[in-house]
Amino acid sequence: MPSHVVAPGLVALLPLTLIIGCSSKDEPLPEPTFWQDVAPIMMSKCVTCHQKEGIGHFPLDDYETARQRAASIDDAVQSGRMPPFLISHDGSCGDFQDDSTLTTAELDIIHRWASGTRAEGTPDDRLTLPPVPVLDNATEYRTPSVTPLIDPTNPLGANDEYRCYEMEPGIPADRFITGYQIIPGNPAIVHHVAIYVVKPSAPSYFDGRTNGDVMAELDALSPDRPGWDCFGAAGDGVAHAAVPVTWAPGQNVVEYPRDVGLRISPDDRLVIQMHYNVHEPGARHSGPKPRHGGSEAPDSTLVRLRYADSVKRSAMIISHDPFIASMFGERPDSLPPGQKNASYTWNASRAELDILPSDGTLEVLGVMPHMHERGRTFEMRLNAPGREECVARVDDWDFHWQSIYWYRTPPRIDPSTSVGVTCTFDTRDTTSPVLPGWGTDNEMCLSTFMVAPPATP
């Protein structure tokens, strides 16, 4: 039987190999073993995902599986593809928490083990399997069981459907969302999830009608199916007040920084936007493993929100992408075909970003870049008179592993600060211009980030 394995023995086990290895340049390093040298690394950096109930494609909590996959594991970690921490973290462009990348010493241990005899060593009972991340004290909501209806003629994505579902928060008084967890029922088809806070009694974008009026009209268009079509946010004409939840493949539990939350009231509604993407049969899927089903199976996604009665800092989440917004104009922007690094840059003032309050200094607490599968690099900058500060950069984008990255040292935005973003894309696979769109065949250059007033002593 495989021995399951992380934390208690990690500190004690790792230094042994490193100390021995430093004894002499001429003395050969001892051959690493799985249980004494490799397992502690994998269990602290890999097995949160790579275990039976995790989102990794295969478990790494036993020797035999690791031995069989040693070459591919070594390739993945040496290339930097795994563990997936896409944001640059060398201090040159933002200072981020929770860096999960491997150290040089850890990479060396895995490489020597994978390229050697792959010795097992002696199982160690001090090692224990890390828990799969779960959001504690959460309220649960579930979307209806739906099989996507795909329209091949849809110019916004021939393999895509956007469906919105309205839910009551079920809270007795004002509360603050402080974290969330999204668990797709069928990850093979769930491209992304966004949750919008909508007040039904508030004016919609259509004159003379409330949000509630518009949502009822949208829902009535498809009486035989739950929810309504919503390619644009919470639906055509629906005005939302906040976007507390954004999920994309590879994302795990999201917990807001301490004492930070987004306000929601009992008379608000949660509008859950599901983006379903049905790939062609046999399409390559390199992201988180599907738990069951496939492109023809239905989905019912579990949404878990954590509420607090009060917080010290009320935050807001900004999502901005002029590239996608241009699709609603007379001439949408586009990316030239046949280029290795087709570039798109936008810059937006604080007013254009609708950041409230409009005065005073705010901190950027976290950032989530978003592009589709042609995306290559991403950079976000804060621009002020006489100063430009790089605050987030991705040098090797991977659509299948997206996340919110939280700052250890939050950059600040004052009233004169603007936000600039540059995305690059590889368009060599097409001879036609790449248009903006929510479908996977189109592209986006989206930055989502959380802002809040600075913490007070």
Whole-number pLDDT of residue 73: 95
CB 390 within 8 A of CB 94: yes
Average pLDDT over residues 14-32: 58
**Residue whose C-alpha is closest to residue 268's, from 241, 232, 245, 246:** 241
Which tokens in the block code for residue 334?
């586009």
**Residue whose C-alpha is closest to residue 188's, from 288, 320, 311, 321:** 288
The pLDDT of residue 378 is above 80 = yes
Decide if 133-313 and 315-457 have a common fold: yes
Average pLDDT over residues 277-288: 49
Whole-number pLDDT of residue 121: 93
Interhelix angle 104-115/70-79, rounded to 10 degrees, is: 150
Which tokens in the block code for residue 67?
């031995």
Whole-number pLDDT of residue 158: 61
Domain topology for 315-457: Jelly Rolls (2.60.120)
CA distance 33 to 356: 55
CB count within 10 Å of CB 379 equals 20
The pLDDT of residue 426 is above 60 = yes
The one-letter amino acid at 350: R
Whole-number pLDDT of residue 152: 67
CB 287 within 8 A of CB 401: yes
What are the φ/ψ torsions at residue 200 (nearest 5 degrees)?
Answer: -60, -30
SS3 243: strand
pLDDT band at 27 (very low <50, low <70, confident <90, very high): confident
Whole-number pLDDT of residue 161: 86
Instruction: Outline where DSSP puts E strands in 119-241.
Output: 138-142, 160-167, 175-183, 190-198, 228-229
Whole-number pLDDT of residue 280: 43
CA distance 28 to 97: 36
Whole-number pLDDT of residue 44: 87
Domain topology for 133-313: Jelly Rolls (2.60.120)
pLDDT band at 403 (very low <50, low <70, confident <90, very high): confident
The one-letter amino acid at 422: T
C-alpha separations of 397 from 210, 280, 335, 377 in Å: 40, 23, 17, 6
pLDDT tens digit sequence for 28-49: 788 999 999 999 999 888 888 8
How many alpha carbons lie under 13 Å from residue 143 in its C-beta half-sphere? 33
Greater model confidence, 382 or 44: 382
Place of tokens 């254009």: 352
Which tokens in the block code for residue 354?
């609708």
Which tokens in the block code for residue 402?
């997206």
C-alpha separations of 29 from 32, 70, 108 in Å: 8, 19, 11
pLDDT band at 25 (very low <50, low <70, confident <90, very high): low
CA distance 417 to 349: 7
Helices (H), 103-172: 104-115
Which tokens in the block code for residue 391?
């605050």
Task: Report which secondary-structure segment, H or E, holds 294.
Answer: none
What average pLDDT does the structure give for the chain? 87
Provide, rounded to the nearest whole percent, the portion of the chain with pLDDT above 90.
62
CA distance 251 to 183: 10
C-alpha separations of 301 from 51, 145, 147, 192, 456 in Å: 21, 8, 12, 11, 38
Average pLDDT over residues 11-36: 61
- Domain spans in the chain, listed from the N-terminal domain onward: 7-115, 133-313, 315-457
pLDDT tens digit sequence for 136-186: 999 999 999 999 887 766 655 567 788 999 999 999 999 999 999 999 999
Q: Which of 56-65, 273-282, 323-332, 440-449 has the lowest mean pLDDT?
A: 273-282
The pLDDT of residue 23 is above 80 = no
Whole-number pLDDT of residue 166: 98
Instruction: Outline where DSSP puts E strands in 69-209.
Output: 138-142, 160-167, 175-183, 190-198
